[in-house]
Amino acid sequence: MSSSSAAASVPGATPADALRRNRIISSKLYFDVPGSKAPVVYSTAYDIAFLGIEKMHPFDSSKWGRICRFLTKEGHLEKTRVVEPLEASKEDLLVVHTEAYLNSLRSSFRVAAIVEVPPLTLMPNWLVQQRLLYPFRKQVGGSILSAKLALERGWAINVGGGFHHCSAEEGGGFCAYADISLSIQFAFVRLDISRVMIIDLDAHQGNGHEKDFANDGRVYILDMYNAGIYPFDHAAKRYIDQKVELVSGTETDDYLDQLDKALKVAQTRFQPQLIIYNAGTDILDGDPLGNLKISPEGVVIRDEKVFRFAKDQNIPLVMMTSGGYMKSSARVIADSITNLSQKNLVQLGSQPD
């Protein structure tokens, strides 16, 4: 079936729906990944190095590469088994984003505001595109591909992505592209699914995807976040199906207890065909933006609980690493992925034919 006839075959599709569907069907971001690869998605292009300016934001912009280096150096994951994604093109991004929003990123001033690094305003936009937005677009490609891999393998990890403050028309909070929304829209069309659960455990409210799926009953959002920090998006809160609002200073045992209760409720309310797990590590004690007091061991246990929740119900899961503003985040994420492997919740080693 041609892409145009496929788009036209959806009952009740508007011209905008048909255009979106055509863009998704003609995208190159989904490609066949051989069984010799693990469903772990990363590119060296994820990492941001920008004349030292990246150090002006608390985010560790080399976090993603450090996670992979820990895993490969310690023998948990062979470099050759990591999947390299493609960069999301403008046509891919238009699946969710407006033309006006994408055009706004041609302003270095606008990008500087989104990523909260004022000196970027003074940089030529071609340099901002190359050094900052290109790495983000590669991570978007990784998030989109990871959903396909999860449906095929049962799980996938994008060692990046999780830009949960960005919506179709607005970026912010170091998030320039709405990779979660894009990943889900691609999955609806290409993977033939119609029920997705977002489990957002970053310390901040995931207001971007909440706005994008405001009245979409196909997406169930469980968001557990510190209500006393950015973004204070009260309009977006209305679209959270299940919100767990934490207070600053919440400690590990209380946090894990609230997570257990939330997962039990979610299990009774919605039966998804795919889980998007936004696994921010800005919940760590000492994180300058999260203001929570979760231990490194607590993060490892948290991730294990979410993966077990998915595996017990046989639901494919995509993990994205999202926020985390301390150098120690990379070590904690690598330890968590190692623990998932040891508990047989993910398989990093070569699979027998």
Q: Are 64 and 281 in contact (CB under 8 A)?
A: no
Measured CA to CA, the distance from residue 140 to residue 87 in angstroms comes to 7
Task: Using the structure block, give the residue that is written with the tokens 């960069």.
Answer: 87
- CA dist 253 → 128, 278, 297, 301 (Å): 42, 20, 11, 11
**Residue 320 gets which letter from DSSP?**
E
Residues 106, 117: Cα–Cα separation, whole Å:
16
Is 164 one of the annotated active-site residues of the chain?
Answer: no
Alpha carbon distance 155, 146 (integer Å): 8
Q: Is 260 helix (H, G, I), strand (E, B) or coil?
A: helix
Q: What tokens were used for 249?
A: 């200073």
Active-site hit among 97, 164, 165, 204: 165
Place of tokens 């933006």: 289
User: Measured in Å, how far apart are the chain's first and last C-alpha atoms?
Assistant: 33
Q: How many CA atoms lie within 13 A of 137 on its CB side?
A: 20
Where b means 16+ CB within 10 Å and e means fewer, 85-98 reads bbbbeeebbbbbbe
Rg (CA), the chain: 19
CA gap 186, 193 in Å, rounded: 10
Q: Which residues are catalytic?
A: 165
